[in-house]
A and B are shown apart, each in its own frame.
Chain A
Amino acid sequence: MAGSQWELPPELCCRPMAFVALTGLDVVYNAVHRAIWDAFCANRRADRVPISFKVLPGDHEYPKCRTKRTSYEWYIPKGILKTGWMNKHLNLVPALVVLFYELDWDDPQWKEKQSECATKVEIVRTSLQGRNTKVAVVLIQKKTPLPPGEDLVASERASSLCNACDLSGKSLFVLPHTDHLVGYIIRLENAFYEHAQTYYYTEIRRVKSHKEFLNKTTHQLLFVRHQFKIAFFSELKQDTQNALKYYRTAYSLVHELRAHETNMLEIKTMAGFINYKICRLCFQHNTPLDAIAQFRKHIDLCKKKIGSAELAFEHAAWMSKQFQSFGELFDEAIKLGLTAIQTQNPGFYYQQAACYSQERKQLAQQLCQAGASYPSPDPLDTQSGGLDFYGQRPWRQGHQSIDPPDAEKEKTGILALQIKERDVPHSELIIALLSNAVAQFKKYKCPRMKSHLMVQMGEEYYHAKDYTKALKLLDYVMCDYRTERWWGLLTAILTTALRCAYLMASVKDYIIYCMELLGRASTLKEEQKGRIEKNLLKVLMNEVPDAEPECDPSSVSAARSLWNDRVALSGSNEFTIEVQDYIPFIQCKAKFFSPSFHVDQPIQLQVFLRADCPHPVTLNKLAVSLSNQEYNQWCVVESSGQESMSLIPGKTKCYNFSFVAKTEDVGKKIEMTGIEVMLGSDRGRCVFLSWRGAGGDAASNHEALQASRSSRRWGRGMETRPELDWDNLIMQHSTMIISRVPKISVQLSHQPPALNNEMYCISLTVQSQEEGVAKEVKLTAGLKPGQDANLGQTTHVTLDGSKVCDDTAPALLPDVPLGDLKPGEKLERCVYVRCVSTGPRVFLFHVAYSIDTTVEGRQIVCKCHKDETATIETVVPFEVSVKFVSTKFEPLDRVAVDIPFLLMTDILSSSPWPLVLASSSLQLLTMTSNTPQLQSQLQEVVLQTGECASECFCLRCPPLTSSNNTVATGQYLISWRRKPSSADSPLIQTTVTLPHVILESVPLYIHADLPSFGRVRESLPVRYHIENRTALVQEVEMAVEPSDAFMFSGLKQVRLRILPGSEQQMLYNYYPLMAGYQTLPQLNISLPRCPTTNTHTLRRFLPQRIFVKPQGRQLDDASIAAA
């Protein structure tokens, strides 16, 4: 009851709908009636008219209508709104009563049934005496009606029935019970809706008509009541715009009422109701800003209207309810599509509701003192069990004057209310509201607001003594405040959490919260920290700590006994606390001295500890765990009898550890996996504070960052501080163990660049500077791994330089044993590299050995190695170009079959080093040499950079059987080596594939035999050979054209026939007339049978010019003298 007293009545919160009563239906036993009723009320969708239907018996008694007041002159209202009024108009007084009656137009007993129907109508009317409720009749008929106007009997009987029942034609309906029942029902209910609207319209008119009788002095309450009623009827009529208007008027009228302590609750109650209606309608009209503005106005107007000071908690409860209801309306509107924003969402209203509930709780605690007994008789009891008017006091209902009629009754009434308030589960209400608000703030991206509300929830659970839940919530949000570094708030939360842990005697939680409250993030004063530290020490000694201040005394005594039980319990006195995510009062940072250690050096690490609590702390043990647990034994320190480990507040203490790494850990990382500090002892309680990695806590990262910023800003001056600066201590949680520094030298000597395919020699010199013997020296040489994968295929490494290695030689020679190396001893090796492709390559020379050494008195065998790399470019030694020319040195694009031609080769050196060309040769395919023996023309030629060596070969292509006219020529082989290399270094064979040639066959081949030169006025015999290369007899026409430079003898023009495969010779004697290069007389040849071959194509085989020497002269003295 206590909680629900402030609930808004359901009839206020529902959506008002026109009330229509259906009578004459037997929905239990009559299947037809049941079907009709179902069609009215089942599955009403939003598109159906808003009507609330009820089936009532035909003789149902409706609420009596009081006799109408004719004058208001002596009437003094007793309250604003009767508690039953809304329900009456929603559920009791119908706008329309519909009588269902089974009657067909052709019923044989028409007369009797008509009068029975009229009687039933009369019964309803009598019951509704004085009301404006309409009555309608629906005839349930078995037959489908004929179209209007066709059934004369029907229209006649209809009007007779209307007369008998005193009904207008608009109020008589026919419902054929056929297939389309739902369709008929929808038409019916639309008609009912119209009747209902008319009814509510007349009701509004009726209420409005009272206004003229009212006067402002005695009838103030009625002004509000009437406006409310008009608004409510407008809502029933679904006229929400007008409803809103009347509610607004009602709202301003309610605040015009003379308010005093005795009617304050009634005014606030009604103001709350009307405000609810206004806000609801504003949201419904999609004007949420109006709703918010109205609500703000409402709160501003009402928040100071506290009423009776002794019942101030009531005001807080009412305020809370106002905010809660508005939050719910807001939330409801959002569910229907309204968009809310971060700064305006229902969460704020729930939060404020929770605030007022908290205030209510406080006021209740102040005002409702325990001890008094509930008064008898119960002043809150009313005869009817409820109130007549909303918001009135049960012991003085209807009383409207300023002073209470009976002071004694007033006192007992207030006492009764106060006693009842004591039983209200305030915390429960507050938590529910807070949790509503949390859900909203989560939705609208307000993480901090959410955390704040969760803190309040936690505190409320603490007040409700549900410590487990309280801790759960507080624990959950603590880390948010910790990461955001709001220390004041964190301290406040921790303080509450510590109280919870104390009251529950939860030892581990108690230690954790103490630990953080003593730490540097805590804003507690020194004396409070001192008290907490004392308590922590007690817990470590397995004693009961002192109670936290501000704890409720009864809870403290319960807690004491819990602690005593806990202390008596043997065992489970060891706790490990992961402190990294807190800000504990002992800080820890650790570091390896260096990010790497050589295996022959001791590994050193330091652990720094610092206490932030007010008094010194004693540790019992400090242990570092490492990734290789075998080293852990070297990183432990325990307090012994003489030497205790204690931390002085504010002073950094450093613990050093060192150990020798295992040689098998070379190349591995050693990490600190955790650090543990033991507080307390086996005799009392052991608490292990455990850090992961190299320590640090929730705040240290930020502190280190700040420290580095300020040291950067203030420069070097700060570095000379005497005290080790804690914030600047950088943790180093891992170190590498690396191999011992080698004491040998590795030198490479070579002559880059490497030439493609050559055996490139790299000579390696290793010299030991060790003091002992370097044992098992091994060399790994070759292509450095991790380069382009193709390089592996095109690089070959060998130690044998006597011959050219083949493709099976690897790219990297691993672990070539070189034996032992005495101190100072030196050894040399040549490594040969053959690079099949050009481009840069990185070569690795890795010399490894082992050596005996001592670290801190321990004998260890160290493996050392030294790496050298060389990047070597590979270039082509020379470029080879090849061309085909005719015997006249004219370039050939095709080669004539069985006619000699020339192959010319050029070797152009691009090597920076001189090259020796040992020999060259041709490997011919298809072609044959035109000369008996092919001999290299460049044997032992030395080519300097940029020099070129050329060769010329005369070749001939024999007649071919295949029809293919493109043929391979063969290969050109060159043997060479680098000049400076020794004579026994192997020769490199470079093969150049000669280009293919296109062949052509000529039908007629003509060539001339002539001397290499002529002489003026001396006969020059020229013999032309004409060969028929076809299988046909060829007819040849030949003519020699006259020339200025020559006279000639022979056939000037001739026509001859040449048999297939045979040759004809023509002899001419030319007689040169002029000296110098002279054009020979032109030979015109044509083959009438072979028109494709003309003079021009044949002439290319013939020499064009000849050099003619001047006429020989006897040497005489004169000419000599002239010279």
Chain B
Amino acid sequence: MAVCIAVIAKENYPLYIRSVPTQNELKFHYTVHTSLDVVEEKISAVGKSLGDQRELYLGLLYPTEDYKLIIFLTRHLH
């Protein structure tokens, strides 16, 4: 079950973030924020090799102890 969904601007701040209300919301914010380390790294690595042909679906980023993080890049969002 999806527990949290976040839309992040290209400057890495949250445009939208909602999580299931029963759990610690702050924890999800931190999880999403810290995952940006990996997203940033992946984007820079992919960007270098493929230019604009980059694959948008980064897939499963990495499993944390309790959650799985799945990332999708968008081309344009404004």
The count of residues in chain B whose C-beta lies closer than 8 Å to any C-beta of chain A is 19
Distance of A484 Cα from B13 Cα, bound (Å)? 6
Residues of A with C-beta under 8 A to B1 = none
Residues of B with C-beta under 8 A to A484 = 11-13, 33
* A489/B37 contact (C-beta < 8 A), A343-B62, A352-B65 known: no
Residues of B with C-beta under 8 A to A713 = 78
Contact present for B65 and A448 (CB under 8 Å): no
B71 at interface by CB-CB < 8 Å: no
Most-contacted residue by chain A among B11, B12, B33, B78 (CB, 10 A): B33
* A446/B34 contact (C-beta < 8 A), A352-B65, A355-B65 known: yes
Residues of B with C-beta under 8 A to A344 = 62
A window 859-918: CB within 8 A of B: none
Residues of B with C-beta under 8 A to A446 = 34, 37-38
Residues of A with C-beta under 8 A to B61 = 343
Question: In the complex, what's the smallest C-beta–C-beta distance from B60 to chain A, in angstroms?
Answer: 10
Residues of A with C-beta under 8 A to B12 = 484-485
Distance of A484 Cα from B9 Cα, bound (Å)? 10
Distance of A489 Cα from B78 Cα, bound (Å)? 24
Residue from the list B30, B37, B78 in contact with A447, Cβ < 8 A:
B37
* A488/B41 contact (C-beta < 8 A), A343-B61, A446-B34 known: no
Distance of A5 Cα from B65 Cα, bound (Å)? 25
Contact present for B78 and A709 (CB under 8 Å): yes
Contact present for B37 and A449 (CB under 8 Å): yes
B2 at interface by CB-CB < 8 Å: no
A445 at interface by CB-CB < 8 Å: yes
* A489/B38 contact (C-beta < 8 A), A343-B62, A352-B65 known: no
A window 678-722: CB within 8 A of B: 702, 709, 713
Distance of A342 Cα from B25 Cα, bound (Å)? 25
Contact present for B14 and A452 (CB under 8 Å): no
Distance of A447 Cα from B34 Cα, bound (Å)? 8
Question: In the complex, what's the smallest C-beta–C-beta distance from B42 to chain A, in angstroms?
Answer: 9
Residues of A with C-beta under 8 A to B77 = none
Distance of A447 Cα from B37 Cα, bound (Å)? 7
A655 at interface by CB-CB < 8 Å: no
Residue of B nearest to A705 (CB): B11
Residues of A with C-beta under 8 A to B13 = 484-486
Contact present for B26 and A489 (CB under 8 Å): yes
Residues of B with C-beta under 8 A to A702 = 11
Contact present for A488 and B36 (CB under 8 Å): no
Residues of A with C-beta under 8 A to B54 = none
Residue of A nearest to B25 (CB): A488
B window 29-47: CB within 8 A of A: 29-30, 33-34, 36-38, 41
* A489/B65 contact (C-beta < 8 A), A343-B38, A484-B12 known: no
Distance of A446 Cα from B13 Cα, bound (Å)? 16
Contact present for B34 and A492 (CB under 8 Å): no
Distance of A484 Cα from B62 Cα, bound (Å)? 22
- Total inter-chain residue pairs, C-beta < 8 Å: 50
Residues of A with C-beta under 8 A to B29 = 486, 488-489
Residue from the list B11, B25, B34, B41 in contact with A452, Cβ < 8 A:
B34
Question: In the complex, what's the smallest C-beta–C-beta distance from B59 to chain A, in angstroms?
Answer: 12
Contact present for B62 and A448 (CB under 8 Å): no
Question: In the complex, what's the smallest C-beta–C-beta distance from B30 to chain A, in angstroms?
Answer: 5
Distance of A713 Cα from B34 Cα, bound (Å)? 32
* A448/B11 contact (C-beta < 8 A), A342-B41, A488-B26 known: no
* A448/B41 contact (C-beta < 8 A), A343-B62, A355-B65, A492-B26 known: no
Distance of A427 Cα from B78 Cα, bound (Å)? 44
* A449/B34 contact (C-beta < 8 A), A342-B41, A486-B29, A489-B26 known: yes
Residue of B nearest to A491 (CB): B26
Question: In the complex, what's the smallest C-beta–C-beta distance from A336 to chain B, in angstroms?
Answer: 24
Question: In the complex, what's the smallest C-beta–C-beta distance from B69 to chain A, in angstroms?
Answer: 10
Contact present for A342 and B38 (CB under 8 Å): yes
Question: In the complex, what's the smallest C-beta–C-beta distance from A647 to chain B, in angstroms?
Answer: 27
Distance of A624 Cα from B43 Cα, bound (Å)? 45
Distance of A486 Cα from B17 Cα, bound (Å)? 11
Residues of A with C-beta under 8 A to B25 = 488
Residue from the list A342, A452, A485, A709 in contact with B30, Cβ < 8 A:
A452
Distance of A58 Cα from B5 Cα, bound (Å)? 74
A window 467-495: CB within 8 A of B: 484-486, 488-489, 492
* A489/B33 contact (C-beta < 8 A), A343-B38, A445-B41, A484-B12 known: yes
Residue from the list B14, B41, B62 in contact with A486, Cβ < 8 A:
B14
1/0 per residue, CB under 8 A from B, across A336-358: the answer is 00000011100000001001000
Distance of A255 Cα from B5 Cα, bound (Å)? 38
Residues of B with C-beta under 8 A to A455 = 30
Most-contacted residue by chain B among A447, A449, A713 (CB, 10 A): A449
Residue from the list B11, B30, B62 in contact with A489, Cβ < 8 A:
B30
Residues of B with C-beta under 8 A to A342 = 37-38, 41
Residue from the list B14, B37, B78 in contact with A448, Cβ < 8 A:
B37
Contact present for B34 and A485 (CB under 8 Å): no
Question: In the complex, what's the smallest C-beta–C-beta distance from A509 to chain B, in angstroms?
Answer: 22
Residues of B with C-beta under 8 A to A352 = 65
Distance of A702 Cα from B12 Cα, bound (Å)? 13
Residue of B nearest to A344 (CB): B62
* A448/B36 contact (C-beta < 8 A), A355-B65, A484-B12, A709-B78 known: yes
Distance of A452 Cα from B30 Cα, bound (Å)? 7
Residues of B with C-beta under 8 A to A492 = 26
1/0 per residue, CB under 8 A from B, across A437-450: the answer is 00000000111110
Residues of A with C-beta under 8 A to B26 = 488-489, 492
Residue of A nearest to B36 (CB): A448
Residues of B with C-beta under 8 A to A709 = 78
Contact present for A445 and B65 (CB under 8 Å): no
Question: In the complex, what's the smallest C-beta–C-beta distance from A105 to chain B, in angstroms?
Answer: 70
Question: In the complex, what's the smallest C-beta–C-beta distance from A473 to chain B, in angstroms?
Answer: 15
B window 4-23: CB within 8 A of A: 11-14, 17
Distance of A433 Cα from B61 Cα, bound (Å)? 24
Residues of B with C-beta under 8 A to A449 = 34, 37
Most-contacted residue by chain B among A342, A486, A713 (CB, 10 A): A486
Residue of A nearest to B64 (CB): A348
1/0 per residue, CB under 8 A from A, across B44-67: the answer is 000000000000000001100100
Distance of A344 Cα from B14 Cα, bound (Å)? 25
Most-contacted residue by chain B among A344, A489, A713 (CB, 10 A): A489
Distance of A702 Cα from B13 Cα, bound (Å)? 11
Contact present for A485 and B36 (CB under 8 Å): no
Distance of A455 Cα from B27 Cα, bound (Å)? 12
Contact present for A486 and B11 (CB under 8 Å): no
Residues of B with C-beta under 8 A to A489 = 26, 29-30, 33
Distance of A343 Cα from B37 Cα, bound (Å)? 9
Most-contacted residue by chain B among A355, A448, A702, A713 (CB, 10 A): A448
Question: In the complex, what's the smallest C-beta–C-beta distance from A6 to chain B, in angstroms?
Answer: 19
Residues of A with C-beta under 8 A to B33 = 448, 452, 484, 486, 489
Question: In the complex, what's the smallest C-beta–C-beta distance from A1074 to chain B, in angstroms?
Answer: 93
Residue of A nearest to B26 (CB): A492
Residues of A with C-beta under 8 A to B30 = 452, 455, 489
1/0 per residue, CB under 8 A from B, across A417-451: the answer is 00000000000000000000000000001111100
Distance of A145 Cα from B29 Cα, bound (Å)? 79
Residues of A with C-beta under 8 A to B65 = 352, 355
Question: In the complex, what's the smallest C-beta–C-beta distance from B23 to chain A, in angstroms?
Answer: 15
| Given A448-B37, A452-B30, A485-B11, 5 new contacts (CB under 8 A) | A342-B41, A449-B34, A484-B12, A488-B14, A702-B11
29 A-B pairs in the complex with CB atoms less than 8 angstroms apart: A342-B38, A343-B61, A344-B62, A352-B65, A355-B65, A445-B37, A446-B34, A446-B37, A448-B33, A448-B37, A449-B34, A449-B37, A452-B30, A452-B33, A452-B34, A484-B11, A484-B13, A484-B33, A485-B12, A485-B13, A485-B14, A486-B13, A486-B29, A486-B33, A488-B17, A489-B26, A489-B29, A489-B33, A713-B78
Top 8 A-B residue pairs of the complex, sorted by shortest distance between their CB atoms: A485-B13, A446-B37, A343-B62, A449-B34, A448-B34, A448-B37, A452-B30, A488-B29
